[in-house]
Structures are given as C-alpha cells and as structure tokens.
Amino acid sequence: MLKTPWIRTLQARSMHLLKDKAFIDGQWLPAQSNKVFSVTNPATGEVIGTAPDMDQSDTQSAIEAAATAFKTWQDTTAKDRSHFLRKWYDLMVQNHENLAKIVTLEAGKPLVESRGEVTYGNSFIEFFSEEARRIHGEIIPSPTPTKKILVEKHPIGVAGLIAPWNFPHAMITRKAGAALASGCTCVIKPAEDTPFTALALMELAQQAGIPKGVLNVVTSSRENAPQIGNLLCESPLVAGISFTGSTQVGKLLYRQCSSGIKRIGLELGGNAPFIVFDSAKVGNAVKGAMASKFRNCGQTCVSSNRFLVQRQVYDSFVDQLVKEIQGLKMGNGQEAGVQVGPLINHTQFDKVSDLVKDAVSKGAKVLTGGKPATQFGELFYEPTVLTDIKENMRVYTEEVFGPIVNIFRFETEEEGLRIANSTERGLAGYFYSEDVAQIFRVARKLEVGMCGVNEGIISTAEAPFGGIKESGLGREGSHHGIDDFTYIKYICVGNL
C-alpha cells in the first residue's frame, strides 16, 4: 500500500499498524462502493497510500455497530472500562515511535514534534483510564423527610467524533478517552489528510481487546466528508457530536445538530493574542512566543495569532524574536534537526500566502520571510515576521494557521486589552508580565477560555481545553471532559 523508503522501513518493522481499510464493528473494511482516496506526504507530495472513500451507507453501518455495542458497553463497570483504556494506553506507549513516524508522514510535522504529540495524545487515554473510576454522582439533602434525592451520571450513547488533521493522534484520544470512560461508544471521522494515525490507533484498540463496535473509524475524501458529518449530526442513533476544526464548519454542524437537539462539543478556531507588557522578562517572552507560534508550523488552534508588544520592550522583543526565527531549520520532518515542516495542503498554503500578500499590499513591513520556501517543497512557507499591522488587514481578524508572526505596538494596558479582545474568537490568550497586580487584572479581563501567563505552552490532559465566544462550546481533557459525554439523571426516591 505505501511506497516511500521511510514507510517501507516502517512497514517492515510495524506492518500491523499501517492499515488501508476502515474499522467498523471490529472489522477492517473497504468502502461499500470500493472507492479509495489518496493520502499524500505534505513534505514531498508523494502519495503514501490510499484509504477507503466511505459515504453515508458506510457511516450508517458504523453508527449501527456503535449503537449495538452501546447496549453492553454502557453496562460495563467503571473499573472494566478503566482497564480497557489502560491496556490501550500501554500499547500506545509500546508503539510510540511508529505512531510518531506515521504522524510525521501524513501530517508533515517534524519527528520531534510528532513524538511530543504521541506522548500528549497517549496521556489522554492514561488520564481517562483513571478518570473512568471517578465519574461520581451525588446525594442532595432533601427538603422533604420522606424523599431522597439521588443524582447519577449516565453515558449519552453513541458519540460522533470528528477530528482534525493538525493533531491526528491527540485530538482523537482526547475525545475517545473521555467518551469511552463515560460508557459511550464512538464513530470517529478522521480528517482526509490524516486517516492513517486514526487507523493505527484502532489496531491498538483491537489488540487491547476493546469490544467490537465500541470504536469505529469511517474514512473519506474531502468530497464525502460533508455527507458523513451530516449523517452523524442528524442520525437519531447518535446522541452527541464532538468536533475540532474550523469555526465555519463548527457552525454548520451546530445547526445540523439542532434538528435532534443533540449534544455538541465544539473546539473551534482561535485568534490568540500574545501580549508582552513593559514589565515582562523579554527573554522569557521570546521563548514562549517561539513555542506557541511555531508548534506544528503555526497550525494549532491555540497558536499565538497576534503579537501585541508594549512600547518600551518593543524593539528588544522584535529583534530577539527575528533572530530566533531566522535560526529555525525548515525541511522534511523525517530529517534530523528539522523544526518547521510544510503546511498541510494547498488550501492552507494558498491561505497563508494570500494573508501575507494582503497585509503587505496594505502597508505591512516584512522583517523576515514573507514568501514560499519552494526549495524544500511545494507546501513550505518561510517563517515570517510582519509589523505595521492595521485593523483592515486580514491577518488582524483571521486565524492564520501558519508560520506568520504579526506584531503590533501598543502604549497602555487598556489599549493592549482592547486590541486583544477585539475579536469574535476566544480560545487561548497569552501574556508576559512580572507585575503581580497586572497579572491578575489581565488574566481576568482577557476574553478567552485558556490563558497562558508567562507561558507559551498550556495544553495538558489535566487541564480543561476549550474556548468562549465563537471558539466553541464545552471543554475537553481534565475531569470536565467527561461532561460532554454524560447526562445527569435525578432520581427521587419517595415514601421513605
């Protein structure tokens, strides 16, 4: 199935992880239409393999399998579910390196980052294997002596999990870990750019003995994705949807879920401000900026999207940041030392190029980069720094999702906060300050669901991930991640 030398070695060492079939009801299946779609390595443009191009009929089979499996999975004990998740986690740990190589191959990120993603992704299964046993109810003091008020948490049923390409491992485990721990079964739709990581995870789930139908993966091309999403949202057999992706698609799924008043968790786009106040330690801010901006080539929902730097530290911050950026090594993520890989596909590449062209045409200054890096491949774009940003530029309002740093200068805390909050999005925000009063003031006023204070990397299985405003609904990870997959049942026992 897969052709490049790197993948041939991977195949020889770990054949069982590389799947060219989808996974439904414990079986590896082609599409009922027998159609396939090609998956390419974004670093080289080579086709690395094909996956089944499934449609609504395959999705219906997966939903029915998950609905049947739910009948028994919901009645397993929390301890049993914990053990299944732990076994799955242990197998992920054993297969860490090969999973990382598959991520690099199809998502293009540097191997060192893919290793980090696999560690991060695995940690959700470990975390939820522990959390499964702590989905507690309550006994609430009753106002009536003859009645008892009990509260239990129950799994909602079949969950449709629609996952993005930017974290093909972690965004599946963050959802599926919570769903399985809660007692839900899943139909997973991975992104068309990155189906192989999802399928490798299913192979390990099968080895872990997770019963058939509990986890299903439906793969498809971009063309078939809308009909699959639509069926997941509208099928009466699906109780809830968890989606990570663009705000535009999130709004569509939200509308589609409304017909069945379906539960929906949405992790959508951000427009994260990264504020450096005069009181900041500039060296720390530069380090945080690099980590936050260049993770996965800027293709991360929580990537800093607008850098706001106060007047006194502006020159020092910009000079140091530009130097760091000029030292980044670009290239194929399979090569040692590479820190910045390609953009995922032509749509993303064109968007990033157009945003830079738009900003430059409206007066932005390019301090470094500013053009494609075609010497590495068709989808590479130079890490870029733009200054003199104005509100009429697309980079001001749109999520860049690429290696572009836009820098604004501001004078006062009020002005910095006004610019930071002047967006419909509210996922993550970051700021650097050594002034304690300012830290608490700004953390309170930033309109975001997640706030990094003197820290550029905030994601971890233990913390609630999610946004406000148009960045989404619900939280993933942490004990709050269980809420999207459970409902509360109140039981009143009377005549006591």
Q: Which residues are known catalytic residues?
A: 267, 301
Query: CB of 182 within 8 A of CB of 133?
Result: no
Q: 59, 98, 459, 486: which one contacts ligand SIN (CB under 6 A)?
A: 459
* Smallest distance from ligand SIN to CB 221, Å: 22
- Residues from 315 through 354 that contact ligand SIN (CB under 6 A): none
Q: Which pair of tokens denotes residue 332?
A: 């194929």
Task: Find tokens 């999975």 and name the residue.
Answer: 73
Residue nearest to ligand SIN (CB): 459
- Residues from 42 through 101 that contact ligand SIN (CB under 6 A): none
Beta carbon nearer to ligand SIN, 195 or 452? 452
Number of helices (H), then strands (E), belonging to the chain: the values are: 15, 22
Tell me 328's DSSP state.
P
Beta carbon nearer to ligand SIN, 215 or 428? 428
Q: 82, 129, 244, 433: which one contacts ligand SIN (CB under 6 A)?
A: 244
Tell me 260's DSSP state.
T
* Smallest distance from ligand SIN to CB 296, Å: 8
Query: CB of 391 within 8 A of CB of 359?
Result: no
Q: Which pair of tokens denotes residue 263?
A: 């539960």
Beta carbon nearer to ligand SIN, 30 or 464? 464
The identity of residue 450, as a single letter, is M
Question: In terms of DSSP bridges, do strands 27-29 and 22-24 run parallel, antiparallel, or are they unpaired?
Answer: antiparallel
Q: Which stretch binds ligand SIN (CB under 6 A): 162-170, 180-188, 331-339, 382-390?
A: 162-170
* Smallest distance from ligand SIN to CB 166, Å: 5
Query: CB of 62 within 8 A of CB of 198?
Result: no
* Smallest distance from ligand SIN to CB 2, Å: 26
- Residues from 266 through 305 that contact ligand SIN (CB under 6 A): 267, 300-302
Question: In terms of DSSP bridges, do strands 185-189 and 158-162 run parallel, antiparallel, or are they unpaired?
Answer: parallel
Beta carbon nearer to ligand SIN, 210 or 302? 302
* Smallest distance from ligand SIN to CB 300, Å: 4
The answer to the question of residue 451 lying near ligand SIN (CB under 6 A) is no
* Smallest distance from ligand SIN to CB 123, Å: 11
Query: How many CB atoms neighbour CB 116 within 10 A?
Result: 18
Question: In terms of DSSP bridges, do strands 272-276 and 428-432 run parallel, antiparallel, or are they unpaired?
Answer: parallel
The identity of residue 288, as a single letter, is G
Largest CA distance in the chain: 79
Number of residues in contact with ligand SIN, rule: CB under 6 A?
A: 10
Query: CB of 403 within 8 A of CB of 293?
Result: yes
Beta carbon nearer to ligand SIN, 152 or 398? 398
Give the Cα separation of 53 and 6 in Å (integer).
Answer: 25
Q: 98, 122, 129, 166: which one contacts ligand SIN (CB under 6 A)?
A: 166
Beta carbon nearer to ligand SIN, 216 or 292? 292
Query: How many CB atoms neighbour CB 254 within 10 A?
Result: 18
* Smallest distance from ligand SIN to CB 114, Å: 14
Q: 167, 277, 381, 410: which one contacts ligand SIN (CB under 6 A)?
A: 167
Binding mask 168-197 for ligand SIN (x = CB under 6 A): --x---------------------------
What is the chain's length?
A: 496
CA atoms 211, 230, 117, 111: torsion sign:
positive
- Phi, psi at 327, each rounded to 5°: -90, -5
Beta carbon nearer to ligand SIN, 229 or 250? 250
Query: Which residues contact ligand SIN (rule: CB under 6 A)?
Result: 166-167, 170, 244, 267, 300-302, 459, 465
